[in-house]
Structure 1
Amino acid sequence: MSRRWNPVHPNVTGMLHGGDYNPDQWLDYPHIIDEDFRLMKLASANTFSVNIFGWSAIEPEEGVYRFEWLDSIMDRVAEQGGHIILATPSGARPAWMSEKYPEVLRVEANRVRNLHGVRHNHCFTSPIYRQKTQEMNRKLAERYKEHPALIMWHISNEYGGWCHCDLCQEAFRGWLKNKYDHDLDKLNHAWWTGFWSHRYSSWSQIESPAPHGENQVHGMNLDWQRFVTDQTIDFYQNEIVPLRELTPHIPVTTNFMGNYPHMRPFTGLNYEKFAKHVDVVTWDCYPPWHNDWQSTASLAKDVGFVNDLYRSLKDGQPFLIMECTPSLVNWHEVNKAKRAGMHKLSSIQSIAHGSDSILYFQWRKGRGASEKFHGAVVDHVGHEHTRVFRDVAEVGQVLNQLAPVVGSSMDAKVAIVYDWETDWAIADAQGFGKETKQYAATCQEHYRVFWERGIPVDVITPDKPLDGYKLVIAPMLYMVREGYAAKVESFVHSGGYFVATYATGMVNETDLVNLEGSPGPLKKVLGIWAEEIDTLYPAESRELVMTGGARYEAKDYVELIHLETAEALASFTSDFYKDKPALTVNRLGEGKAFYIASRNETSFQDDLYERLLDELQIGAPFPVQAGKGVSVQVRTDGKTDYVFVMNFTEEQQTVGWPGRSGLANLLTGEHVGEQLELEPYGAVVLSQSRE
């Protein structure tokens, strides 16, 4: 639903631009800090995340505090009219704490405790670490609660990983007791522990998954990952207690991540659950642009999917890009620099999908340690006369022009369902091809059809309501939660179209196979039952033919299904599933439910969804004539549409919108006619009143 959201803080009037600033590393170089503030103005940088790993600079010895440097930085940012996103420094703790309180150090799955070093090397369960982080956060809140630069709390940094220490083992057992009502028989049944004689006769026998057994008891693995998410959220909630108490007017967030090298949602934590506890979703976006396995346009589609997922976590509220790089990173397999124009284009893409910021890691390159060659706004040379600085300054100017877009949202009638727990469970499942399960990539392939056509999409999790959508697509929804089928049935009865695929509804929430067969609780709404899946070798394919005669190639997976109340729209032409349904439709109430029984070539998705879009009268909110590789996204506040037209190719593209003229180009302030030329990696942002 289109609306205008309030900015993250009343003092914010436009896009946030800046990033992760680490002046604590430069306290012995005051002239460099002075230079930073000069360069901030040149780059139109107005927002800085400070203190993310600053614990040892604030508390060099236990109980000895040094806030003077942070006071100075925050005051100087305020004097320039800028903003501070102030971090709690729990992502890495000082050496004195590891030495005095070794329980704060993380224990790996092999049950060996880590030595001091790196970051995120802490136990989320440790009472001492929880006490120390809360003490630190209280001091920060007491000191800066009224500071004019403070607009948001940045809690820790990129939460992730797990600890297997004795404290965490006891916490895991306690979590399981609560989940299974202190009934060990319930747990044994849910985990199917009769397998390989894994049955437990005492809670004390249960341990977290060890390296040699992580693929054995899938129910245990699922519950461990759920516990890790809950324990991480609990640690986060412990951190924010003094912040909520002392600064209730300041929003809190923590930076979510993506999965790489391919652009996928991060699966180390369930962000569906975590998002409920942050005021604003933020994430760190590091696509591998210019790689050798994927076109730029294809990668842009995957980035769009993750952006739309994170925007949808809080019902369409604009998110923030908390980190990106103006050039390269230092942790990809190949650390490729961005080509000319790509930083501006990728920044505009983030805004197009719902971000109200472009913030970087990092402002200035460090002089030593592992991130000294990670991309930054200010290079080691220390001045503004670099390609990257010029690119950042240009983006700063672009963001100034895009200030009217802040708070606007997207109006989607199509939703793709992505489920973190299904992703976990399919990763464990051993009945498919090891390399071809590709759950997230399959969701992104269905998303592609709409991305290429400029049709807005919400990427939603199963907890979200379906009201307001006309078309909901749930590829490979391997695990169907209790109550979800009833929600889908109500949606279809009311006139919605629902699309499911092979490998749907195979297991319940503890990864036990549904005894009524697949697609489990969704059998009624889909009107079919699935007997088995044939996994194809990479060189194999099968053919399916539509009732109208169109033929398509199936690859990777072909499912043998049977009709109950559904009717076939396509069938397979060979093998033991010859003449068996390949695509079905089940009419229920005012709507329809479709089932796709194989993984098919892209033209199948194109043709199927074109048909459904036509039936549902869903079109692009701003049709654009353009070549392949041009993406169109629209943000709106209900009164004004902001149209982002982006060329993700290395070729000049002519783009047009016949019948529309006098549109305002937000980037230049000029009016444009019915077409224009987009340079390679070029973009234009148009403004059109709905009145």
Structure 2
Amino acid sequence: MKALNRDGGILFMTKTPFKQFLFGGDYNPEQWPREVWADDMQILTDVHMNEATINVFSWAQLQPSEETYDFSTLDAIVETLTKHGFNIVLATSTGALPAWLATRYPEVTRTDYEGRHARYGGRHNACPTSPVFRFYGARLAGKLAERYGHLDNVVCWHISNEYGGYCYCDNCAKAFRVWLRQKYGTLDALNAAWYTHFWSHTFYDWEEIVPPNALSDGIGNDHIVLSGMGLDWRRFQSDALLQNLKDEKAAIRQYDPNTPITTNLMGTFKDLDYFRWAKELDIVSWDSYPRFDTPASEVAMRHDLMRGLKGGQPFMLMEQTPSQQNWQPYNATKRPGQMRAMSYQAIAHGADTIQYFQLRQGRGGTEKFHGAIISHADHDETRIIRETRALGEELQKVGTKMMNGRIHAQVGMIFDWDNYWSLEYSSGPSVEMKYVDQLRRYYAAFYKQNIAVDMIPTDLTAAQLGQYAVIVAPVLILIKPGVSEAIHQYVKNGGTFITTYMSGINDEHDNVIMGGYPGPFRDLCGIWAEETDALPPHTAVPVQFGDTQTSGSIVANVSHLEGAEALAAYGGDDFYAGTPAVSVNRYGSGNAYYIGTVLDEKGLDTLVARLITERGLAHFTTPANVELTTRSYAAGYRLHFLVNNGGQSETVDTHQFAGLPTLVGDGPVQDKTTLAPYGVLVIEEQ
């Protein structure tokens, strides 16, 4: 079992650091009288939970004043969990400031995009560059490690919580200037990178540079006068928050050199470059909170992104809700069986833990209506308790057999935060052009055929790209040094590359690459995109793709073939009717596809069908709501996860698995399998 090594070459995959499959979640007993804890232990043990994530928001309780620490309550919580055999994921509590810290040191709180400096309140409320916050946050993490790091059942450190948000204060402005000096060295280099001749923005002194907010160069949160400055600001803020994590990590390592360290990420969250963050984590963990109408394919894509952050290493599903959220516009309750299906979907895509927020539902505060294992009913006869117990029994029977599997993907899809930021900073061509949505469309087309996809960064070599039959790079607008060369070599060696409209346009500073779109991919794709038409909302341009009548939306590139073959052409009566909408170019031993418009579902299905034939991609036909995902194991067996993500029964042709035993299911597999609503089958193949 292998994984990508970012420095080149191949490494054996790092295993999940846990001895057993963790089943549990966030637990806040400090919010309750101690007599309640005994009832909780009875219920949570009865549903076969074996883990609790504690101390996530306890800073004010642990440190009531500047020099006073009180660990008595946490000692009692740890003792209770240890007595009942629970593994502990111990958080550092630094995700929310105590009131005394914000009152005594006002500079620890953030200044927002509008230039308003916060008083005490909320969470995620600390300025990442504040020396005071960095000192007290790291000191607390160190004291926790000194006190609890030796315990065998403390199996993971959980630093802070859901990092995010930016600060625009004077401390951040100073730190930003230091960061820029280190990156550019001279103002001449910075001015060139930022294209500062635009609107008379040339800088002659470092002190002239201020954060790009509503009082300076910001034009709304997603637009800015100098997009190169905006990109660097986002990079800097991501790095500043990452430094907070590194501060606490270093403090923990002074006392505990071995216990793995993580922080809970948030899927396709925009603010932080998670590929950079993952390098500082021993294991990736994340919080999955889809809306009631989020497609199962999008949830799967987020799981695959989290798995991809460390080159295929299994991850922790740190949070999901057992029933409903409380912070979305419409907080639907999970239907019977849906929690189980979503848990197995996560395992299928690389999760080696199943954890929830939260174990007991709170009585007050803004999260009091967020779902929990133990609800406000305060007894063990609820539907959620019954479903949790049934899932716990299954996981306990399976033991470690589902852990440490590798997904062998045939397709690699590039996901890159610099491109995310660049595309959405763009002042055109359409406000409907959103990065994650564009990638999701392509991912969904492969998902429909049950073709595994790895989400990969931009810094892979041609040899590393070569493990994939197909590389997909939608809206790869920003081309960093070395990326074009690696992709050219990959295709020359026989790979298939797919890119689209809004690709190959900018360099790493967000300045346009001259010579026509798609810039460095022009020769590779054998096409020149002269213009990009932005289509009005809710309109489409007809596209004839082989024998398939499909359509495009949002944008339509007006392109000219330069050696490529047209596979699809625009219809209608506009001036670019008849010009190529989809093309393919032979380059070396491989092929490069260029997609000029946002193809509809039928168009993307047609493209994927062609790739299946061209590259011999293994695929599996299932009903629309059913997915099949396979994990392979070092011991020589494979597990095939068949999950019904819908609320209706579905029948699947499983003749190719007939006779194989089931790890989760009722005996050997039949030629046809009927899955109940949200039903799951886990097939074992030696």
TM-score of the aligned structures, taking structure 2 as reference length? 0.94
Determine the C-alpha separation between the residues in 2 that align with 1:433 and 1:448: 22
Is residue 654–residue 673 contact of structure 2 (8 Å, CA) maintained in 1?
no
Could you tell me which runs of 5 or more consecutive residues in structure 2 were left unpaired when the two chains were aligned.
4-11
Residue deviations 1:125-169 (CA, integer Å, cap 9, x gap): 111111111211111111112112111110100111111121111
Structure 2 residue 459 is matched with structure 1 residue 463: yes
Amino acid paired to 1:466: L
Is residue 282–residue 321 contact of structure 1 (8 Å, CA) maintained in 2?
yes
Partner in structure 2 of residue 333 of structure 1 = 329
Residue deviations 1:54-95 (CA, integer Å, cap 9, x gap): 112211222222222222222332233321111111111211
Partner in structure 1 of residue 366 of structure 2 = 370
Structure 2 residue 307 is matched with structure 1 residue 301: no
Partner in structure 1 of residue 495 of structure 2 = 496
Determine the C-alpha separation between the residues in 2 that align with 1:84 and 1:5: 25
Partner in structure 1 of residue 591 of structure 2 = 592
Determine the C-alpha separation between the residues in 1 that align with 2:92 and 2:265: 15
Is residue 16–residue 404 contact of structure 2 (8 Å, CA) maintained in 1?
no
Determine the C-alpha separation between the residues in 1 that align with 2:555 and 2:664: 46
Partner in structure 2 of residue 46 of structure 1 = 50
Report the secondary structure of 1:671's partner residue.
coil
| Matches for 1:525-604 after TM superposition, within 5 Å | 525-546=524-545, 548-573=546-571, 574-604=573-603
Partner in structure 1 of residue 286 of structure 2 = 283
Compared CA separation, residues 601 and 280, structure 1 to 2 (3 A): same
Amino acid paired to 2:314: P
**How far is 1:196 from its partner?**
2.1
Partner in structure 2 of residue 262 of structure 1 = none
Partner in structure 2 of residue 109 of structure 1 = 113
Partner in structure 1 of residue 233 of structure 2 = 224
Determine the C-alpha separation between the residues in 1 that align with 2:171 and 2:623: 58
Amino acid paired to 1:451: Y
Structure 2 residue 167 is matched with structure 1 residue 163: yes
Residue deviations 1:215-237 (CA, integer Å, cap 9, x gap): 22211111110000111111111
- Alignment match of 1:19 (pick from 19, 25, 36): 25
Determine the C-alpha separation between the residues in 1 that align with 2:124 and 2:607: 46
Partner in structure 1 of residue 7 of structure 2 = none
Is residue 552–residue 597 contact of structure 2 (8 Å, CA) maintained in 1?
yes
Report the secondary structure of 2:368's partner residue.
coil
Determine the C-alpha separation between the residues in 2 that align with 1:7 and 1:669: 30
**How far is 1:428 from its partner?**
1.5
- Alignment match of 2:408 (pick from 401, 407, 411): 411
Structure 2 residue 673 is matched with structure 1 residue 676: yes
Structure 2 residue 494 is matched with structure 1 residue 477: no
**How far is 1:541 from its partner?**
2.3
Could you tell me which runs of 5 or more consecutive residues in structure 1 were left unpaired when the two chains were aligned.
259-264
**How far is 1:499 from its partner?**
0.6
Determine the C-alpha separation between the residues in 2 that align with 1:402 and 1:427: 44
Determine the C-alpha separation between the residues in 1 that align with 2:533 and 2:584: 22
Residue deviations 1:482-530 (CA, integer Å, cap 9, x gap): 1100110111111110011111111111111111221112222212221
Structure 2 residue 211 is matched with structure 1 residue 208: yes
**How far is 1:7 from its partner?**
5.0
Amino acid paired to 2:449: R
Determine the C-alpha separation between the residues in 1 that align with 2:554 and 2:15: 46
| Matches for 1:39-188 after TM superposition, within 5 Å | 39-181=43-185, 183-188=186-191
RMSD: 1.7
**How far is 1:280 from its partner?**
0.6
Is residue 7–residue 13 contact of structure 1 (8 Å, CA) maintained in 2?
no
Determine the C-alpha separation between the residues in 2 that align with 1:40 and 1:142: 28
Partner in structure 1 of residue 9 of structure 2 = none
Report the secondary structure of 1:644's partner residue.
strand
Structure 2 residue 442 is matched with structure 1 residue 450: no
Report the secondary structure of 2:530's partner residue.
strand
**How far is 1:543 from its partner?**
2.5
Amino acid paired to 1:279: D
Is residue 542–residue 553 contact of structure 1 (8 Å, CA) maintained in 2?
yes
Residue deviations 1:443-475 (CA, integer Å, cap 9, x gap): 111111221111111011212331311101111
Residue deviations 1:526-552 (CA, integer Å, cap 9, x gap): 122211101111343222334x54432
| Matches for 1:338-349 after TM superposition, within 5 Å | 338-349=334-345
Structure 2 residue 198 is matched with structure 1 residue 195: yes
| Matches for 1:510-521 after TM superposition, within 5 Å | 510-521=509-520
Is residue 479–residue 511 contact of structure 1 (8 Å, CA) maintained in 2?
yes
Report the secondary structure of 1:663's partner residue.
coil
Compared CA separation, residues 320 and 338, structure 1 to 2 (3 A): same
Compared CA separation, residues 341 and 539, structure 1 to 2 (3 A): same
Is residue 349–residue 629 contact of structure 2 (8 Å, CA) maintained in 1?
yes
Using the TM superposition, name which of 142-151 and 664-673 deviates more.
Answer: 664-673
- Alignment match of 2:276 (pick from 268, 273, 278): 273
- Alignment match of 1:246 (pick from 238, 245, 255): 255
Determine the C-alpha separation between the residues in 2 that align with 1:401 and 1:224: 49
Report the secondary structure of 2:351's partner residue.
coil
Report the secondary structure of 1:560's partner residue.
strand
Amino acid paired to 1:576: F
Amino acid paired to 1:648: N
Is residue 173–residue 206 contact of structure 1 (8 Å, CA) maintained in 2?
yes
Partner in structure 1 of residue 428 of structure 2 = 431
**How far is 1:643 from its partner?**
0.9
**How far is 1:660 from its partner?**
3.2
**How far is 1:633 from its partner?**
0.9
Amino acid paired to 1:22: N
Determine the C-alpha separation between the residues in 1 that align with 2:199 and 2:500: 32
Is residue 16–residue 352 contact of structure 2 (8 Å, CA) maintained in 1?
no
Using the TM superposition, name which of 131-140 and 391-400 deviates more.
Answer: 391-400
Determine the C-alpha separation between the residues in 2 that align with 1:449 and 1:74: 47
Amino acid paired to 1:458: D
**How far is 1:6 from its partner?**
5.8
Compared CA separation, residues 208 and 376, structure 1 to 2 (3 A): same
Is residue 645–residue 677 contact of structure 2 (8 Å, CA) maintained in 1?
yes
**How far is 1:51 from its partner?**
0.7
Residue deviations 1:172-197 (CA, integer Å, cap 9, x gap): 0111111111x212222222222222
Is residue 2–residue 636 contact of structure 1 (8 Å, CA) maintained in 2?
no
Determine the C-alpha separation between the residues in 2 that align with 1:438 and 1:108: 24
Residue deviations 1:574-622 (CA, integer Å, cap 9, x gap): 42223322222221221111111111121121122211122211113xx
Report the secondary structure of 1:73's partner residue.
helix
Amino acid paired to 1:207: V
TM-score of the aligned structures, taking structure 1 as reference length? 0.93
Determine the C-alpha separation between the residues in 1 that align with 2:497 and 2:663: 38
Is residue 2–residue 408 contact of structure 1 (8 Å, CA) maintained in 2?
no
Amino acid paired to 2:664: L
Moved over 4 A (4+): 1-7
Amino acid paired to 1:599: V
Report the secondary structure of 1:277's partner residue.
coil
